[in-house]
A and B are shown apart, each in its own frame.
Chain A
């Protein structure tokens, strides 16, 4: 159980002050107004073109083989709740209860909930937060934001449990919380299919359940806070198309069939599917392990001497690929002595440092700082159950975030951010 420390309380107070300050200076940088809608527009148009067919054979074949169409069509893309418009600079600053790191979370004003007691002040509300991987920076940051939000409300108690990537264990944790009659459950599922039944059981027991980032197969779930996988893969494609017209690519992908892989890689392929110059030379599943991404890239560099692009579905993959390219001294080994273009996801601090140093070329931010949205949504669902407020929408889109590049660029109406402009990076700083 999370203990409410004085530091967390002070952090909460400070965050309000910081928020007020950032609001003040925001008017000056409203340039990225509506980046969410701009990216959604691009998703729709590229998706449409891809459906008409892909002229690039190499891309089209892979797209067909792994069945990306089915995954992409099922993934929701849409507007933000309550007409929210996210702008760079928004959000509260606080110290992560678990990581002890300074965090600036981008979406603390989305589905807002004022600090202080919630719903019926005389009652205490118990919320369970279950996820996987309390030893990965992305996931610790996710738990940080969830615990921070809970700590803002004195009558909310949160229990945070790591199911260690065992779907069955996550199901058992949820079943235990049903037995303990918790008031609400928030989960970060690893895979969709196995988490449907436990979520349904909790809903049937009258407990609101909200999933964050990834989805479950439950149709009864109270709300889903969705990640922005589609915009991630899309922007990797947009950037590549902008800087290169042709070249050989090596892909480091996540677990076959996982949402992160299906949507990001699928969206990337949709964008470049009608650019004939690109050729997929290597296609690896390195399952979010840096060591495996290192190895596949090292081997691919030996097999092919004219790689122009390293596409990575995550930050771990990109760091592994970069390390392998550096170890082989091949950073500038693309045809005509050009640099290998490295595309990444996940705005970890280590990735941003490599962007600033010019080693990784672009990253689509995939922020873990969304646990707070899940907690607020589940509190509102509890309130709706008690007749105290309206329920939040079932699908809660997370605002799409613009890509980060070393220097500012405008690509098809998307204004990129530079590492200096990005206060939301997560994880430990590289000294």
Chain B
């Protein structure tokens, strides 16, 4: 990843590990933004906080949020994954090819395995060959999308007969729609992984100061391979959720998904330089994007104006957190 950033005295003090466990001021400002949006929404639309609308907002962003968790971890290590849209599409297409078998375990298993393997390949290229992740994952995006088209011959398939597959999009657990349930589970798992396990320490060390991490005995290549593989898995889960919601496995799905996910990740406070960012921040950012999109649609703001507004929201939230840096690439 090209984007390098000055690490100030934190590294010198060797205190990077402890720093991560303090509550982050950036997260607080994001929560305030979310709070303001929710209050504004409730004033504008009395039904905004109804369980029905919350369901709409949350299911809409569940897929993007889960993928953003994986992306956040990649970004924390100082890398980037532009291949997620291609990985998601190829994974569901592989599952779609197995639909005639009628075996849910095989279909869902192959989908997830495909995501995991593609992520693994990304990780090996970056960690073992030392290739820029921006370029190698860009190439992977092109290759995976092309393979999805070639394998499916461009044809869509319908998973509606496979109840277990459809469960990922339309099912419910204890009254909670499965996409929302999965978003919560993945959020908890990722927060645990990044905040309170030894893996979390390694993760931030890898992105924060690779040399220091190496000196303290952390195998940064392994850390990177793990996060890329995990991000690939997240892409497959997102593909599963979204294709099941529509009951439609489409080789043309998810155009530009990587940029949407990156926008959420950055909105969540992860700096592309690596070493900073949190899954919790990304979760809040996911909710901000969900609420903004929902409100703009409810207000009938045109699709094209929404693009402009979303861009402004990202700038407004991201810029204040940046001021105290010496320089940033």
Instruction: Please tell me if B310 contacts chain A, counting CB pairs below 8 Å.
Output: no
Query: A290, B248: Cβ atoms under 8 Å?
Result: yes
> Whose C-beta in chain A lies nearest to the C-beta of B47?
A302
Instruction: Please tell me if B153 contacts chain A, counting CB pairs below 8 Å.
Output: yes
CB of B286, distance to nearest CB on chain A (Å): 15
Query: B294, A302: Cβ atoms under 8 Å?
Result: yes
A327 CA to B158 CA, complexed, in Å: 17
Instruction: Please tell me if A122 contacts chain B, counting CB pairs below 8 Å.
Output: no
C-beta contact mask, A398-431 vs B, less than 8 Å → 1, else 0?
0000000000000000000000000000011011
CB of B272, distance to nearest CB on chain A (Å): 26
A261 CA to B301 CA, complexed, in Å: 18
Instruction: Please tell me if A287 contacts chain B, counting CB pairs below 8 Å.
Output: yes
> Whose C-beta in chain A lies nearest to the C-beta of B100?
A431
Could you say which of A30-38, A113-121, A293-301 contacts chain B?
A293-301
A282 CA to B153 CA, complexed, in Å: 36
A155 CA to B255 CA, complexed, in Å: 39
| Known contacts A136-B154, A428-B157, A303 near B246 by CB under 8 Å | no
CB of B163, distance to nearest CB on chain A (Å): 13
Query: A428, B158: Cβ atoms under 8 Å?
Result: yes
CB of A49, distance to nearest CB on chain B (Å): 28
Which among A136, A299, A323, A328 is the interface contact of B245 at CB below 8 angstroms? A323
| Known contacts A323-B246, A350-B158, A427-B156, A296 near B297 by CB under 8 Å | yes
Query: B297, A319: Cβ atoms under 8 Å?
Result: no
Instruction: Please tell me if B77 contacts chain A, counting CB pairs below 8 Å.
Output: no
Query: B293, A328: Cβ atoms under 8 Å?
Result: no
Query: B152, A299: Cβ atoms under 8 Å?
Result: no
A273 CA to B252 CA, complexed, in Å: 36
Query: A320, B246: Cβ atoms under 8 Å?
Result: yes
| Known contacts A290-B248, A295-B60, A302-B294, A285 near B155 by CB under 8 Å | no
Instruction: Please tell me if B251 contacts chain A, counting CB pairs below 8 Å.
Output: yes
Give the chain A neighbours of B50 by CB distance below 8 A: 302
A135 CA to B255 CA, complexed, in Å: 13
CB of A99, distance to nearest CB on chain B (Å): 6
> Whose C-beta in chain A lies nearest to the C-beta of B295?
A299
A301 CA to B251 CA, complexed, in Å: 28
| Known contacts A428-B157, A430-B160, A302 near B52 by CB under 8 Å | yes
| Known contacts A295-B297, A303-B297, A135 near B154 by CB under 8 Å | yes
Give the chain B neighbours of A274 by CB distance below 8 A: none
C-beta contact mask, A207-228 vs B, less than 8 Å → 1, else 0?
0000000000000000000000
Instruction: Please tell me if B53 contacts chain A, counting CB pairs below 8 Å.
Output: yes
A430 CA to B159 CA, complexed, in Å: 9
A328 CA to B300 CA, complexed, in Å: 19
C-beta contact mask, A364-399 vs B, less than 8 Å → 1, else 0?
000000000000000000000000000000000000
Give the chain B neighbours of A292 by CB distance below 8 A: 303
Query: A300, B297: Cβ atoms under 8 Å?
Result: yes
A100 CA to B153 CA, complexed, in Å: 10
Instruction: Please tell me if A256 contacts chain B, counting CB pairs below 8 Å.
Output: yes
Query: B157, A294: Cβ atoms under 8 Å?
Result: no
Query: B152, A135: Cβ atoms under 8 Å?
Result: yes
A303 CA to B293 CA, complexed, in Å: 13
Instruction: Please tell me if B199 contacts chain A, counting CB pairs below 8 Å.
Output: no
Within 8 A of B (CB), among A42-81: none
C-beta contact mask, A84-104 vs B, less than 8 Å → 1, else 0?
000000000000001110000
Instruction: Please tell me if B298 contacts chain A, counting CB pairs below 8 Å.
Output: yes
Query: A300, B298: Cβ atoms under 8 Å?
Result: yes
Instruction: Please tell me if B45 contacts chain A, counting CB pairs below 8 Å.
Output: yes
Query: B155, A99: Cβ atoms under 8 Å?
Result: yes
Query: B156, A428: Cβ atoms under 8 Å?
Result: yes
Give the chain B neighbours of A137 by CB distance below 8 A: 155-156
| Known contacts A98-B153, A299-B297, A300-B297, A430 near B252 by CB under 8 Å | no
Query: B294, A299: Cβ atoms under 8 Å?
Result: yes
Instruction: Please tell me if B170 contacts chain A, counting CB pairs below 8 Å.
Output: yes
Instruction: Please tell me if A283 contacts chain B, counting CB pairs below 8 Å.
Output: yes
Instruction: Please tell me if A4 contacts chain B, counting CB pairs below 8 Å.
Output: no
Give the chain A neighbours of B303 by CB distance below 8 A: 284-287, 292
Query: B157, A319: Cβ atoms under 8 Å?
Result: no
Instruction: Please tell me if B56 contacts chain A, counting CB pairs below 8 Å.
Output: yes
Query: B158, A299: Cβ atoms under 8 Å?
Result: no
Most buried by B among A99, A295, A303, A427: A303
Query: A431, B297: Cβ atoms under 8 Å?
Result: no
Q: List 25 A-B contacts (CB under 8 A).
A: A98-B154, A99-B153, A133-B252, A135-B154, A135-B251, A282-B297, A285-B303, A289-B255, A290-B248, A290-B250, A292-B303, A295-B293, A298-B60, A299-B56, A299-B293, A299-B298, A302-B47, A302-B50, A303-B297, A328-B52, A350-B158, A428-B156, A430-B158, A430-B160, A431-B161
Which residues of A are at the interface with B, using a C-beta cutoff of 8 A? 98-100, 133-137, 140, 256, 281-287, 289-292, 294-296, 298-303, 305, 319-320, 323, 327-328, 350, 427-428, 430-431
Which residues of B are at the interface with A, using a C-beta cutoff of 8 A? 45, 47-48, 50, 52-53, 56, 59-60, 149, 152-158, 160-161, 170, 242, 245-248, 250-253, 255, 293-294, 297-300, 302-304
